[in-house]
Chains A and B, each alone.
Chain A
């Protein structure tokens, strides 16, 4: 079973920030939070990951709560090309651990 819970779908206006929530209440101390997205008809694309601290890269920011039981992916200025299914995944940091996908959130960016 997936270790994360995400809303099935969300809408966001173009140019506005998109905030995608994820609950992972059973996360353990050595597990990272990963975010991927899948644009229609393409393979999943890595976005960002974190363990405890908030992270930011050129694509997005990841905010992890202090108790690590939930996180939020922030796309600061959503564009139409950000319309995709966004997957929040919890994975052990070990080299052999597997990436297991849940159902994700379909983000629809509206013009």
Chain B
């Protein structure tokens, strides 16, 4: 399995500001993903973080709102820009391991509250 850490674990932010969430994996992984889980809802895929190139966004998500970086095989960041209360969610990093591509692992999540 892969051990995934996220920073911060939680935050309270003012509307109009931006927050960058970091995801660190303890081993090299082939794919990294970012999900959002709104209160009481299931997980929604935001984008696939691609190493060395622009992320691939799902329908309804755009780079200007959720810029993503992935500088290497073990690290990625997701920024939530110009936040509004509707962005209050849990944001989860997820990875597929280089040696076991069939299984996907999830980080503990970052709990964001926007006031």
The listed residue (B1, B4, B104) touching A99 by CB distance below 8 A is B104
A32, A99, A104 interface centre (most CB from chain B within 10 Å): A99
| Nearest B-chain residue to A2, judged by Cβ | B42
Contact for B101 among A43, A95, A104, CB less than 8 A = A95
Listed by A's residue number, 7 A-B pairs whose Cβ atoms lie within 8 Å are A43-B4, A43-B92, A43-B108, A87-B42, A96-B48, A99-B33, A99-B94
- Which of the residues A87, A95, A103 comes within 8 Å of B30, measured between beta carbons? A95
A44-B43, A98-B48 known; 6 new pairs, CB 8 Å cut-off, are A32-B102, A42-B108, A44-B92, A46-B104, A101-B35, A104-B42
Q: Are B31 and A96 in contact (CB under 8 A)?
A: yes
> Known: A98-B45, A98-B48, A102-B42. Is A46-B33 also a contact (CB below 8 A)?
no
Interface size class on chain B is 20 to 34
Q: How far apart are the CA atoms of A49 and B104 in the complex, in Å? A: 11
Bound-state CA distance A96–B50 (Å) is 11
Distance between Cα atoms of A102 and B31 in the complex (Å): 21
How many CB-defined contacts (below 8 Å) exist between A and B? 43
B103–chain A nearest beta-carbon distance, Å? 5
Per the bound structure, the CA–CA distance linking A99 and B105 in Å amounts to 11
How far is the CB of B109 from the nearest CB of chain A, in Å?
Answer: 5
A65 to chain B, nearest CB (A): 21
B1: chain A residues at CB < 8 Å are 46
Known A95-B30, A99-B94: A46·B103 in contact at CB below 8 Å: yes
**CB–CB A93/B102 < 8 A:** yes
What mask results when residues 41 to 53 of chain B are scored 1 for a CB within 8 Å of chain A, else 0? 0111100100000
The CA-CA distance from A104 to B45 in the complex, in Å, is 16
Q: Are A49 and B102 closer than 8 Å at their CB atoms?
A: yes
Using Cβ atoms and an 8 Å threshold, which residues of chain B touch A98?
A: 33, 45, 48
CA–CA, A28 and B4, complex, Å: 32
Q: Which residues of A contact B31 (CB under 8 A)?
A: 95-96
Contact in complex: B103, A101 (CB < 8 Å): no
Q: How far is the CA of A96 from the CA of B32 in the complex (A)?
A: 11
Of residues 1 through 60 on chain B, the ones whose CB sits less than 8 Å from some CB of chain A are: 1, 4, 30-31, 33, 35, 42-45, 48
